Structure 1
């Protein structure tokens, strides 16, 4: 019996990636633990699932157990051959062009990371400078870096499972951005990542702006929960969450945060950990929190959590603007002018923020195993930027336990993560996470949430 939900297909590449060497193909077909095939297959499946409301990596893999993808080398170049692929990616038997672009962007970035970074002794990923250089090369290889373009890129962070009111608000803000000629960079998924892009496309059309940029930056471990939305026209897949986060702050000029959940808090703490570092005292990377009036309590909870854990110094690093899309856009446009002036004075590039100092504890990949989560240093007696980095790891572990297939399996097998620390810190953390659960910010509405963590309060 033919399953109408899956198809077989063979597609040609979009863009520059048309030929591969035999060794590159061998890596992509290697299904061993060190091979690229599992990463490529799972990321490709997530891209093909774009438009679905499924936000669980483990569930996605289980829904399409027969999905397979292989590279076919022909005289004129390569093709991808798929079986058991989600039918949602096709129209009348043809793959949607944007999805095809995303599919080959995944192939491009996974190959580049393996061949040009991991196996290249020129990149020392154990140093801060080497990691930043690697991020630069990933973005340059993807064609993301454009010299001689004035600052105009707004990074938009926020949740993929937000309310309709919050989503509509993010569209209105994106519309105001687009009217002012600003471009959008997000985590590329649905919700608060899609809304600003959707609003900006309408505004760009009204302003007759051609070539609007809707940049999506993801990584293999999170892509199943945040499959690239259809508006993304520049997709980059970084090898891990830390390089993904660094890519955001290196290419973006202003960061705007919409309502979200633990993933959004992870991003906020990452950026605060950078801005609180003494070496960045004179660096400017503006940060604005915004949402509809109904999100006031959400931002108040985050603001209070930051006050208790990181202090008043951290609160000075961001603004909160509620229920006023035009005011948000005006503030962002003004900050763009300030960023341009500071970059000119520092002789720093507009397209990549070389002047930002990112400490290694924010660059080093954190794998949320039960042992690693239990060892987190969540004590108040440490510099604020280090505490922010450790809190970021705690939120990263919760994100993994919610949506990443491997981490979900580990939690199912070994039970919830145990998180230890000062009671004065864990109590507000528990309050914040409980609020997220009550507001359905951990998973899509309609699903019962089972916590993947235990706090030793």
Structure 2
């Protein structure tokens, strides 16, 4: 693995000036904040990697480090043994330099301003999400609704990537901006396509927002198109950021992480206190028709046939997806105007506390999930979301990988019908190689086992 032994760079855009306490906490190699910054910085510098196993990445670059060097006019970052693909002729790529600055900004703000607060009630959690986004400059008042959240897998074949890029192009032609999880695959495709669409429309300030969190960033490094990167403190705040910012959602084929996101959103849409919906479109090329049939059947089995009223499925025809999204966002604009809700942040959306509290995927917590058809639909969707969150952790997150290595696969148990639906869906993901990059059906070792009552 090629590495750059040593380089120094100056943060750009933000936080060139740090306090002595901030510098100390980020520089102390024994401090948790330094490890967090180091891990996120490594993920940024490892962009476009074909490895999505966080433990493998950390092992490969065990000698990597990043240090803060105080200077009379701010600080410099000293980077040791960095992945070479982030440099051209010995100089760091500008976009990656900006992403490093965004990581520095968000980690410091979150640690000193957000996590230091004791309040953990739903209102205060939403307020924290808003303040992180505002500090990052992502919240922009006075802008007409035009943010499309695109979800989908990072481990997808070329034809699915090309389709996602074509949809992004159609969205860009319609002056719509893109938010994704900032990784490769179905997260990169829409941004790349939208950039071309924006260029044709002479849009110079197209927004390609990437929202990540420390647990997933190592396996989904920000792609090169992202021009606004935000690091949220955990997956729950990351997901809340998506639904508070987005005006419409387009979901491409993906794996367990994509299903986690879908169940999170559906739990919110099913909540009895949420009267206004959020447009949701499932989209994929013709070769993915069976995929969406399987996903649709899974959602019906778990949440009932009425769940289909909350989403549209469009197979092929990227132009139709673009037109549908544009029309949906115009409806959102009218609804927000009528209710006097902000265009830039969906304050009126009710999010259940179970969706805001971090779910820690220990074996005990995974086994304790209540996957019962008797639960209210929004609560069941939330529980299913947690189950898939644990599988994501066991696949690619350092904590989950270590848990499975020590204690064996997670046990997932519950209603036989739900267990069958989950098992059928996961088997399809394994067969279609949607679980981890480069691992086929024979190579993938499940981090879970389904237990039927």
Output the TM-score relative to the length of structure 1.
0.97
- For residue 395 of structure 1, the aligned residue among 388, 409, 420 is 388
Q: Which residue of 1 aligns with 2:262?
A: 268
Q: C-alpha displacement at 1:17, in angstroms?
A: 1.2
1:376 alignment partner, SS class:
coil
Q: Which residue of 2 aligns with 1:138?
A: 132
Asked if 1:200 corresponds to 2:197, the answer is no
1:316 alignment partner, SS class:
helix
Distance 1:154 1:186 in 2: 9
- Report matched runs for 1:54-453 at 5 Å: 54-121=51-118, 124=119, 126-280=120-274, 282-446=275-439, 448-453=443-448
Distance 1:258 1:16 in 2: 33
2:22 alignment partner, SS class:
helix
Which digits, 9 at most, give the CA deviation of each residue in 1:222-261, with x for residues without a partner?
Answer: 0011100000000000000000000000011000000100
Residues 13 and 100, structure 1, Cα contact 8 Å, conserved in 2: yes
Distance 1:114 1:239 in 2: 9
Distance 1:424 1:431 in 2: 11
1:23 alignment partner, SS class:
helix
Q: C-alpha displacement at 1:290, in angstroms?
A: 0.2
Residues 51 and 57, structure 2, Cα contact 8 Å, conserved in 1: yes
2:78 alignment partner, SS class:
strand
Count the aligned residue pairs: 450
Residues 14 and 102, structure 2, Cα contact 8 Å, conserved in 1: no
The answer for unaligned runs of 5 or more in structure 2 is none
Residues 215 and 235, structure 1, Cα contact 8 Å, conserved in 2: yes
**Cα-Cα RMSD:** 1.0
Output the TM-score relative to the length of structure 2.
0.98
Which digits, 9 at most, give the CA deviation of each residue in 1:371-408, with x for residues without a partner?
Answer: 11011111111100000000000000000000001210
Residues 106 and 237, structure 1, Cα contact 8 Å, conserved in 2: yes
Distance 1:413 1:119 in 2: 32
1:221 alignment partner, SS class:
helix
Distance 1:364 1:16 in 2: 29
Distance 2:27 2:303 in 1: 47
